[in-house]
Amino acid sequence: MTLQRSGELNRRITLQQRSTSQDSFGEPVQGWQTLMTVWAGIEPLSGRELELAQKISSEVTHRITIRYQGAFTDTRVAASLRAIYKNRIFNIQASLNEDEANVRIHLLASEGLNDGQ
């Protein structure tokens, strides 16, 4: 069984999900709603530069580790979320339940290309 050391989760992140509301004209407006704030560990995995629309952009992938949350065992649910740490926005692509032990969840995320849009 994998043990979780409390010092490994030393960043306070906010997990957000897409929401739709209406503006004063009744038109739908896309936004983000805070789902929860949790302690996490953030570890960069890789980085790359690429040209998008004749502009150089960079992307960094990360592994964000949080304590087990049953909702995140479904990768489709996790992939609809984004994480906010300070002024940084992480797009979550997948979730992994480490060793299926229900101790911690690894969220695989990217930063830099589209700010969670």
Q: What is the CATH number of the domain that holds 82?
A: 2.40.10.270
d(CA 100, CA 98): 5
Residue 99 has pLDDT above 50, yes or no: yes
Whether residue 8 contacts residue 32, with contact meaning beta carbons closer than 8 Å, is answered with no
Say if 28 falls within a structural domain.
yes
Residue 63 lies in a domain: yes
CA distances 4 to 41, 82, 101, 104, 105, Å, are 11, 23, 11, 7, 11
pTM for this one?
0.79
Range of the domain at 66: 8-111
| Domains of the chain: total | 1
* Residue 3 maps to a domain: no
Q: Give the model confidence (pLDDT) of 55-95 as tens digits.
A: 666 778 899 999 998 888 888 888 899 999 999 999 999 99
- Tens digit of pLDDT for each residue in 102-115? 999 999 999 876 65
